[in-house]
């Protein structure tokens, strides 16, 4: 190709890059596109940086932590060494080391229950500290550790369960979904494994907590625990006390509290009617008469509205 032809090609306009204003300096139409390209690159680099950062700009390393289900945990190769350094590692500033120590607590609880029990009193405050940790990996591992403690030690940890319970109620109420779900699983383990006669008094204060989300989670735990008392246990605890709790939660702010209260009210009605040999509507021992005697007029009306509506629905369903 001749030199003239090459020169002619060099001055041909590139489609889409022409400047629409006259008098532009030679080659100046390319500059805006170079700048735009740099902006795009900067944006891409920023996105990569954001992906490598966790909350509050802290570099994420959660890929280093594996969440292991209880049934997949194996025994420790050196039990004595793990026990001797456990409290120090739980109180470490290295979050990866803390997660490892928390998983060691779970392994020791499963395979060496009695050995761990001796130091659990000192260990639980450190587990609570991990539950408060802003790093999600530490928090979730601590939640899983709490669940295993409830499953394995049940009533043995009731005296030191208050700080665990508070943190689990808080974590189950937050917006971070995977932490919330883990906390709810731990609360189910607690209500399943700890005797309701011991657990219900622990839950009562949280039903009046100023945080409505904590009240809601506590109401759900309370409602789950009551049926485990059984007929005799409910009578011993006091069905009048339980129906008062249900009535107080029926007017709560969040629907979860109200639904838990409805479930509890229906359970109590069933238990009451079983224990009073199906009284007639006019009997002094009827469910309606009982509610009116034990509750304020407004509370009795709320409970009876819930239980009568449910009964009517069952009849219509039949």
* DSSP per-residue string spanning 130-149: HHT-SSHHHHHHHHHHHHHH
Evaluate whether residue 302 is within a structural domain. Answer: no
Residue 285: per-residue pLDDT: 84
Judged on CB neighbours under 10 Å (0-12, 13-18, 19+), 227 is middle
Exposure pattern of 284-296 as b/e (b: 16+ CB <10 Å)? eebbbebbbebbe
pLDDT, mean of residues 99-122: 96
59 DSSP β-pair partners: 53
Q: What percent of the chain has pLDDT over 90?
A: 70
Helix residue spans in 172-211 (DSSP H): 177-193, 196-203
Taking alpha carbons only, the member of 194, 61, 236 closest to residue 136 is 61
Name the one residue in this structure whose structure tokens are 């509750």: 295
143/127 Cα distance (integer angstroms): 9
Distance from CA of residue 50 to its chain's centroid? 26
Structure tokens belonging to residue 249: 């939660």
Q: Which domain holds residue 136?
A: 52-165
Look at the chain and report how many structural domains it folds into: 1
Evaluate whether residue 161 is within a structural domain. Answer: yes
Structure tokens belonging to residue 137: 């990996």
pLDDT, mean of residues 120-135: 96
Q: Count Cβ atoms below 10 Å from residue 63 Cβ, excluding itself.
A: 7
- Over residues 267-277, the pLDDT tens digits come to 999 999 988 86
Evaluate whether residue 107 is within a structural domain. Answer: yes
113/152 Cα distance (integer angstroms): 8
Residue 277: per-residue pLDDT: 66
pLDDT of residue 33 exceeding 50: no
pLDDT, mean of residues 82-96: 97
Residue 48: per-residue pLDDT: 33
- Over residues 209-224, the pLDDT tens digits come to 999 999 999 999 999 9
Evaluate whether residue 150 is within a structural domain. Answer: yes
* Of 284 and 159, the one with more pLDDT: 159
pLDDT, mean of residues 143-150: 98
Q: Work out the pLDDT band at 64, boundaries 50, 70, 90.
A: low
Evaluate whether residue 202 is within a structural domain. Answer: no
pLDDT, mean of residues 111-116: 96
The lowest-confidence range among 13-27, 123-137, 228-242 is: 13-27
Evaluate whether residue 109 is within a structural domain. Answer: yes
Model pTM score:
0.76
Evaluate whether residue 72 is within a structural domain. Answer: yes
Q: What percent of the chain has pLDDT over 70?
A: 75
Terminal alpha carbon distance of the chain: 94
pLDDT of residue 51 exceeding 60: no
pLDDT of residue 264 exceeding 90: yes
Residue 209: per-residue pLDDT: 95
* Of 1 and 101, the one with more pLDDT: 101
Q: Count Cβ atoms below 10 Å from residue 202 Cβ, excluding itself.
A: 20
Q: What are phi and psi of 115, to 5 degrees?
A: -65, -40
Evaluate whether residue 126 is within a structural domain. Answer: yes
Q: Average model confidence (pLDDT) for the chain?
A: 82
Question: Could you tell me how many helices (H) and strands (E) the chain has, helices first?
Answer: 16, 0
């Amino acid at each position: 190709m001749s030199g003239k032809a090459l020169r002619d090609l060099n001055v041909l306009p590139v489609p889409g890059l022409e400047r629409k204003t006259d008098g532009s300096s030679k080659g100046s139409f390319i500059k805006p596109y170079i700048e735009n390209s740099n902006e795009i690159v900067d944006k891409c680099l920023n996105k990569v940086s954001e992906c490598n950062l966790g909350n509050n700009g802290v570099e994420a390393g959660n890929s280093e932590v594996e969440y292991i289900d209880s049934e997949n945990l194996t025994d420790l190769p050196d039990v004595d060494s793990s026990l001797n350094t456990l409290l120090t590692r739980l109180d470490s500033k290295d979050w990866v080391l803390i997660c490892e120590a928390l998983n060691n607590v779970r392994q020791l609880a499963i395979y060496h229950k009695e050995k761990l029990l001796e130091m659990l009193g000192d260990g639980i405050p450190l587990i609570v500290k991990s539950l408060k940790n802003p790093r999600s990996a530490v928090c979730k591992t601590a939640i899983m550790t709490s669940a295993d403690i409830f499953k394995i030690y049940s009533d043995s940890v009731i005296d030191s369960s208050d700080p665990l319970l508070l943190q689990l109620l808080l974590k189950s109420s937050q917006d971070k979904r995977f932490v919330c779900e883990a906390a709810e699983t731990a609360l189910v383990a607690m209500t399943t494994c700890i005797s309701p006669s011991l657990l219900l008094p622990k839950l009562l204060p949280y039903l009046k907590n100023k945080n409505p989300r904590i009240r809601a989670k506590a109401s759900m735990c309370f409602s789950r625990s009551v049926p485990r008392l059984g007929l005799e246990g409910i009578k011993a605890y006091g069905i009048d006390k339980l129906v008062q709790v249900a009535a107080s939660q029926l007017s709560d702010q969040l629907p979860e509290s109200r639904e838990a209260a409805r479930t509890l009210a229906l359970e109590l009605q069933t238990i009451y009617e079983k224990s009073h040999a199906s009284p007639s509507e006019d009997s002094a021992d009827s469910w309606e008469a009982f509610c009116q005697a034990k509750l304020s007029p407004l509370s009795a009306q709320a409970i009876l509205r819930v239980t009568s509506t449910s009964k009517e629905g069952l009849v219509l369903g039949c």
